[in-house]
Homo-oligomer: A and B are copies of this chain.
Amino acid sequence: MSAEVIDGKAFADGLLRALEDDVRAFKKEHDLVPGLAVVVVGHDPASQIYVGSKARRTVEIGMRSYEHRLEEATSEADLLALIRRLNSAPEVHGILVQLPLPPHIDDAAVLDAIAPEKDVDGFHVINAGRLATGQSALVPCTPSGCLQLLKSIHGDLAGMRALVLGRSNIVGKPMAQLLLAESCTVTIAHSRTRDLPGECRRADILVAAVGRPRMVKGDWIKPGATVIDVGINRLPAVDGGKGKIVGDVDFEEALAVAGHITPVPGGVGPMTIACLLQNTLKAARVQIG
């Protein structure tokens, strides 16, 4: 048996096309263009690439993009002042601050300064609280993308046994909340879990988000399970190359056991930006009431 490989790129492209239609309808109905402001501080090359690609996609689907590229030396006070301006700017419906921020800036203070209704990353404490208590929330993009992939495969997830490997605020914990809201029986496992292979082996749905290359082996997987691999790990370069990107799952081994599996790259990754733009349209809808 060989698992069906989930084409996250194709699925995300489909979402973006649907979103383009939704944006067009929204503009027509409300005479308003949804706008996303992206703020990046400093010159981290990866961040610059992410921000550029987010801006391009934003414009492609018909929304406005506002890029704010600030010097590495920008003070926290200046950054907070920019956020306040964006919070009250009517043309901006979503605000994303690209992480990591320089070490002299307190990430949490900045993220909590974003108006919750414009917090398209879903990292604000109020959005975390809304998600945790089953209220409508802006949900972090990566787990939201994982959930959409899972629902595209299984439809109703109720009663399925889901294991989330990793307990970060950005992926693991919100992923567990989303799966619980879908009425899965949810287990959260992590570095202190005893018998991690055994816990994984019970799962109909296995979401790996620990950031350890190829940690999940083939014999950790229940035959036929759906495996969602959130990891993006760069292996050391050999022969002067760039170093291969691999997930948290040993893909070759898992392929022989799983029912469905996301590849890395090309699985969860492309979904994240689509979910960011979904959140921006959702935020615009909420803001116009």
Cβ of A27 to closest chain B Cβ, rounded Å: 32
Beyond A125-B126, A130-B125, whether A186 also contacts B185 by CB under 8 A is no
Return chain B residues, CB-CB under 8 Å to A133. Answer: 125, 128, 169, 173
28 interchain pairs (CB within 8 A)?
A125-B129, A125-B133, A125-B135, A126-B126, A127-B129, A128-B128, A128-B129, A128-B132, A128-B133, A129-B129, A129-B132, A131-B132, A132-B169, A132-B177, A133-B169, A134-B169, A158-B192, A173-B180, A176-B188, A183-B190, A183-B192, A185-B187, A185-B188, A185-B189, A185-B190, A185-B192, A185-B193, A185-B199
Return chain B residues, CB-CB under 8 Å to A180. Answer: 167, 173, 188
Chain A residues with a Cβ closer than 8 Å to the other chain, count: 32
How far, in whole Å, are A159 and B192 apart by their CA atoms in the complex?
A: 5
How far, in whole Å, are A131 and B134 apart by their CA atoms in the complex?
A: 15
Complex: chain B residue closest to A198, CB-CB = B202
- A194 CB within 8 Å of chain B: yes
How far, in whole Å, are A100 and B169 apart by their CA atoms in the complex?
A: 32
- A161 CB within 8 Å of chain B: yes
Return chain B residues, CB-CB under 8 Å to A134. Answer: 169
Return chain B residues, CB-CB under 8 Å to A193. Answer: 159, 185
Return chain B residues, CB-CB under 8 Å to A192. Answer: 158-159, 183, 185
Q: Which of A130-159 contact B (CB under 8 A)?
A: 130-135, 158-159
Interface residues of A (CB under 8 A from B): 124-135, 158-159, 161, 167, 169, 173, 176-177, 180, 183, 185-190, 192-194, 199
Cβ of A109 to closest chain B Cβ, rounded Å: 12
Residue among A133, A161, A188 having the largest count of chain B Cβ atoms under 10 Å: A133
How far, in whole Å, are A185 and B198 apart by their CA atoms in the complex?
A: 12
Cβ of A190 to closest chain B Cβ, rounded Å: 7
Interchain CB contact under 8 A, A194 and B185: yes
How far, in whole Å, are A188 and B124 apart by their CA atoms in the complex?
A: 24
Interchain CB contact under 8 A, B125 and A173: no
How far, in whole Å, are A129 and B176 apart by their CA atoms in the complex?
A: 14
How far, in whole Å, are A193 and B128 apart by their CA atoms in the complex?
A: 25
Cβ of A40 to closest chain B Cβ, rounded Å: 23
How far, in whole Å, are A106 and B185 apart by their CA atoms in the complex?
A: 30
How far, in whole Å, are A125 and B193 apart by their CA atoms in the complex?
A: 29
Complex: chain B residue closest to A108, CB-CB = B135
Return chain B residues, CB-CB under 8 Å to A189. Answer: 185
- Closest CB pairs A-B (n = 7): A129-B129, A125-B129, A128-B129, A183-B192, A132-B132, A187-B187, A185-B193
Return chain B residues, CB-CB under 8 Å to A124. Answer: 129
How far, in whole Å, are A276 and B65 apart by their CA atoms in the complex?
A: 48
